[in-house]
Structure 1
Amino acid sequence: MSSTRPSGPPLHLRVANKKAYVWDVEDIAAIRAKHRLCGVFTGTLPHLSQQNLFLGVPMVLLPEEVVLLVENESAVLIDDPKAHLEPSVAELQRWSAQENELAQLRLAQLAAAAKDSPAMSDEAVRKRKERELKRKAAAEAKAAAEAASSESAETHSSIFKPPEEVAAPPAPVDVQYTVVIPASSTPFEWYNDSACAYTTIQSAKDAGIWEYPSDLHERAKCGVFRGLWEQGMFMGGGIKFGGDYLVYPGDPLRYHAHFSASVLDSPTSALTPMEIVAHGRLGTVTKKSHLLCGWDDEKKDVSYLSIEWAGFG
């Protein structure tokens, strides 16, 4: 499968603390649809902030995915901390005034939308009145209970006065609020990455913002990852299944993994019988075959061996 770079400007991978992040949702879509890479979402969603099943931007890429994109000339590495500029006091004041003006504009739009909202149906009005009556009855019962509990503290000569009617809380207004968030990141006024973009892995290493691959095992992982990717596969983390990668025949949202893959630094790397048995049985139990991927660092080539548990007799 061809690994030529698709047309269009290169993707910007923003590097901080030796990790590559993608913030632009258009870039995230291109990485998955055009480059067949999945990454991992690490940001919490505003309406699901206390869970970790469905996450949002930014996307963090595996080091092998970063190397693949940069070597294919599909992406550049950005030194993100250096790209942030320090604004002056006057610029901060101007930015604050613009934000206040934008907030007032949005409030005016919400007020106009609420005013122009269609009238409620008779059924909706009836249900609202029922809710209001239930809240009012609950409030009266609560007030009566509080008055009865405090009656013992009063003198016997006092005359019990029923609690005053407690006003029901205001009914909620059926208005939908929409917060407009741009789908793609626009260049920020105090962000300039033109002087800290690196088009090769070596130049990023020389600048000290990137260091992968740094040894034989990491080169082997990059080579195996590229070899599987060039065959049209999607890869994800495979630590849960006893390997380095899970190998999918298509997008993981549509397919189950067919293989779990382990990277060997050499095609002649030694394996114990226990490792072979463990890989074979674990792969079979999880309905996968296990791939042993041997990297030849001299030939820059990968050899594959599939292990699958089988019964005898």
Structure 2
Amino acid sequence: MPISATVVGDRGYVWDAEGATWLRRHCRVVGAMSGNSAEHKQHNSAGGLPCELNPEELQLALCQGWVVIRTTASLPEPTANAAAPSTGLSTEHIQPKVHVPAWLTAVQSKKAVMLPVTASQLNPAVLGSPGSNSPHRRDPAVTTVHCAQHNAADTVHACTKHAMQNDQPIFSKLHSMGYYITDGAKFGADYLLYPGDPLLFHAQFTVRILEHDTPIKPALLAGSARGSHAARKHLLLASVDGATASFITVAPEGGFGSTG
């Protein structure tokens, strides 16, 4: 069963512990626990829910059917006429009617919503509230959010456009080869590749993504290789030509020697 996730910007968030565990164990989608943990005040050794999926992980999980996006359009309708406790009084006296904001009604109806981006734009003409006689007008400073139902590919394209055009072919190819992939910022790289779960294995490769038709600067190559090899990891240079990912491995001439 697909795991439900919310999307903020170009990242996905899984709020279910069992779902995050399933993605990690069965799909090799690690994510990052970005929430606070009450037992670890310094927040250095452990994190809590939600599990944050980067754009590449979100794209892969959506295309594979492992994750579905949960939006406000799937929120239940307000229950203004819910049954009241048996007190002899009518429901109207016990539970007041719930006011449904105009924007929520539009979202649930899968219509376009005009959202002001500054306080000065917060007026009935822009919002098109029921009390305004002015029709909807398009303000160049107002963001239009389209809530029509899209398929997974359209949704992914909207929220992870950058990843799809640049890093996604590389990420998907490496994932299909059986690696666990995490962020590589702590080693000055784009990704780290693990032969198994990162909790049990050290990374074998640091991955640097380069433009396919751009010459490699010697200083960049030397610095990346030196930092990677000092951490006993191979450097993997990756690029995309069209939709095809290609790789070059840079390893020490004499290897890393004995680990004993």
Structure having the higher Rg? 1
1:226 to 148, 167, 172: 172
Cα 1:203–1:41 change in 2 (3 A) is: closer
TM-superposed CA distance for 1:13, in Å, is 1.7
Please tell me whether residue 19 in structure 1 is matched to residue 43 in structure 2: no
TM-superposed CA distance for 1:222, in Å, is 0.6
- Number of corresponding residues: 196
Indicate the residue corresponding to 1:248 in structure 2: 194
SS at match of 1:34: helix
TM-superposed CA distance for 1:306, in Å, is 1.1
Cα 1:48–1:199 change in 2 (3 A) is: farther
Indicate the residue corresponding to 2:218 in structure 1: 273
Indicate the residue corresponding to 1:149 in structure 2: none
1:261 to 197, 207, 212: 207
SS at match of 2:239: strand
Cα 1:225–1:85 change in 2 (3 A) is: same
Stretches of structure 1 lacking an aligned partner (at least 5 in a row):
1-8, 95-192
Instruction: After TM superposition, list the pairs within 5 Å mapping 1:38-53 onto structure 2.
Output: 38-53=30-45
TM-superposed CA distance for 1:305, in Å, is 0.5
TM-superposed CA distance for 1:308, in Å, is 2.6
CA distance in 1: counterparts of 2:14 and 2:233, whole angstroms? 31
Please tell me whether residue 296 in structure 1 is matched to residue 241 in structure 2: yes
Stretches of structure 2 lacking an aligned partner (at least 5 in a row):
86-107, 111-146, 255-260
TM-superposed CA distance for 1:281, in Å, is 0.7
The structure that is strand-richer by fraction is 2
2:193–2:204 contact (8 Å) kept in structure 1: yes
Cα 1:283–1:17 change in 2 (3 A) is: closer
TM-superposed CA distance for 1:82, in Å, is 4.3
Cα 1:40–1:240 change in 2 (3 A) is: same
Instruction: After TM superposition, list the pairs within 5 Å mapping 1:1-313 onto structure 2.
Output: 9-79=1-71, 81-84=72-75, 87=78, 199-203=151-155, 205=157, 210-214=158-162, 218-266=164-212, 268-297=213-242, 300-310=243-253
Cα 1:242–1:78 change in 2 (3 A) is: same
CA distance in 2: counterparts of 1:204 and 1:224, whole angstroms? 17
1:119-174 superposed Cα distances (whole Å, 9 cap, x missing partner): xxxxxxxxxxxxxxxxxxxxxxxxxxxxxxxxxxxxxxxxxxxxxxxxxxxxxxxx
CA distance in 2: counterparts of 1:203 and 1:61, whole angstroms? 15
1:292–1:306 contact (8 Å) kept in structure 2: yes
1:75–1:199 contact (8 Å) kept in structure 2: no
Higher relative contact order (CA 8 A, sep 6+): 1
Cα 1:46–1:90 change in 2 (3 A) is: farther
Q: What is the alpha-carbon root mean square deviation over aligned residues? A: 3.0
The structure that is helix-richer by fraction is 1
What residue identity is the alignment partner of 1:200?
A
